[in-house]
Every structure is written in structure tokens, then in C-alpha cells.
Amino acid sequence: MTLTNSRSRPDLLGVLGGMGPLATADFLTKLISRTPARVDTEHIPLVVSSEPNIPVRALGLANDDPSSPLAAMLDRRDFLVSAGAQAIAMPCNTAHYWYAELSAGLDIPFIHIVDAVIAELEAAGLSGATIGLMGTRATVEGRLYEDPILERGFGCLVADADLTASHVVPGIALVKENRIPEAKEMMRHAVERLLDNGAEKVVLGCTELPVGLDMNDPWVAERCIDPTAALASACVDWAMAVRQRGG
């Protein structure tokens, strides 16, 4: 397949990644594993931007502040659009705080990770359940998950500031340093605390968390919701629907 033909594919997915790089690779693996393909040519065509130099996703910054990540994310979004992407996915939870700005003016879908997670919770028959949430400080403080979860009739038990500071954030940092075994121990403790406090399932609201905990571990898979996998499944659903429509 030539580049020209690939760029014209109606199912070409753009991936706005690099936040962080290992989480982006994890998303790509999960996307590929969930695609109902028998041969290479049946997989979803991708254009991927994995830019690790996007500024840290911190809340409270004006959008025109040089420390804000928005300008860099918009640049990468525009790169994906210019490369022919027909939909965009962003495997970073915290970055969805800027979803309104990133999706503004687009005439292609920008698949939202929180919508994908809530769809998975509902499909699992968990309506009305108390959902635990752990993630970055920005994800928690920005109520990225909490408000939509509550609006859809679930309870929401958020990891408190002490647990986030002592186990969640350090665990995320360990994943970024590729120190996975150490990260798993810290993250599992945080999951156990939320379960002990009444959570029925725990949303791993940072894309480093499923990497650190390892969703192939049956204990983790039974108790946790993986937003990276939920986003991958939503992207596969989009691509299959596009193909069924014939473009």
C-alpha cells in the first residue's frame, strides 16, 4: 500500500501520544490485540505522534502560558490531521482536561477516554456501583472522571490526597523510570485501600497505572478497569463502523 492510499483511508486513526512513551506503546499493543484481524492488511492504519517533550500536564495555567501543554498538544493534533487522520485518540488521561480545546473546530471524531471507560462500566453491568478512582493529582483535582461517573449514576470513591501522594504519584513516576516491579507494589497497595474502603471496581485513571500493575495479572484484571484498553476498544469500534459503512 502506498503512502497516498494510506492517507486516504477512511479508517486511518491518529494517536496523540508520548504522555508518556511507554503508555503510548501500551495503547498500541492493546489496540492491535483487540482488532479482529486475520492478516496484516486487516489491521487499523495508524499515524502516531509520540512526542515526549509536551510540557507536564498541570492544571491552573492559562492556555497561553509557556508552561501550558496546550500549544504543543495542538501542534501534534494538527500534525495528525495533516497526515490524514480520520479520528484521533489520546492515550493520556490528564491531557483530556484540555479536550474541549483540542476537539474544537475538528470535523473528525476525537475519541474521549472517559466516555470509553463509562461505556465499559455500563457494559459490565456495574450501573449504580461504587467506582474507585486513582490517577494523577491533576486528573483527580480536575474531576475528569468523578463528575461524569456521578452524572451516570455510579458512586465514586476517589483516592485521597495522602494515598495519591504516598503511592499513586510515586508509582506513576516509577513507570516513567521503567521500574515496573517497584511500581506494581505501590500501585497494588493503592488499589487494595480503595477496595477496602468500599470500591467495587477501581478505574486506573492514568495510562501509566495499567502498565505498572500489569492487566495480565488475574487479580488486577478482576478488580480494575483499564482506561487504555477501553480507549483501544472504542477506537476499534469506530474503525469497524467506518468499514461497515464503506468509508
Q: What was the pLDDT predicted at 1?
A: 38
**Of 62, 93, 95, whose CA–CA distance to 77 is shortest?**
95
The DSSP code for 215 is T
Residues 182, 237, single domain; the answer is no
Residues 78, 53, single domain; the answer is yes
Q: Read off the pTM.
A: 0.93
Q: What was the pLDDT predicted at 7?
A: 62
Is the distance from CB of 110 to CB of 13 less than 8 angstroms? no
Is the distance from CB of 204 to CB of 210 less than 8 angstroms? yes
**Owning domain of residue 147:** 114-227
Q: What was the pLDDT predicted at 66?
A: 74
Residues 43, 139, single domain; the answer is no
Residue showing cell 491552573: 60
Residues 33, 125, single domain; the answer is no
Residue showing cell 470513591: 157
Residues 84, 153, single domain; the answer is no
> Which cell numbers hold the place of 18?
508520548
Residues 83, 26, single domain; the answer is yes
Is the distance from CB of 91 to CB of 27 less than 8 angstroms? yes
Q: What was the pLDDT predicted at 62?
A: 56
Q: Which residues contact 58 (CB under 8 A, 6 or more apart)?
A: 67, 69, 138
Residues 135, 202, single domain; the answer is yes
Q: What was the pLDDT predicted at 53?
A: 93
Q: Provide the β-strand partners of residue 62.
A: none
Residues 108, 20, single domain; the answer is yes
Residues 82, 43, single domain; the answer is yes
**10-residue block means of pLDDT along the chain (247 residues)?**
61 96 96 97 97 82 75 96 98 95 96 97 94 94 95 96 95 94 95 97 96 94 97 98 88
Amino acid code (one letter) for 61:
L
**Of 231, 235, 156, whose CA–CA distance to 198 is shortest?**
156
Residues 130, 80, single domain; the answer is no
What are the helix and strand counts (H, E) for the chain?
Answer: 13, 8
Q: What was the pLDDT predicted at 219?
A: 96
Q: What was the pLDDT predicted at 2?
A: 42
Residues 28, 51, single domain; the answer is yes
CATH of the domain at 188: 3.40.50.1860
Is the distance from CB of 109 to CB of 88 less than 8 angstroms? yes
Structurally, the chain folds into a number of domains equal to 2
Residues 16, 30, single domain; the answer is yes
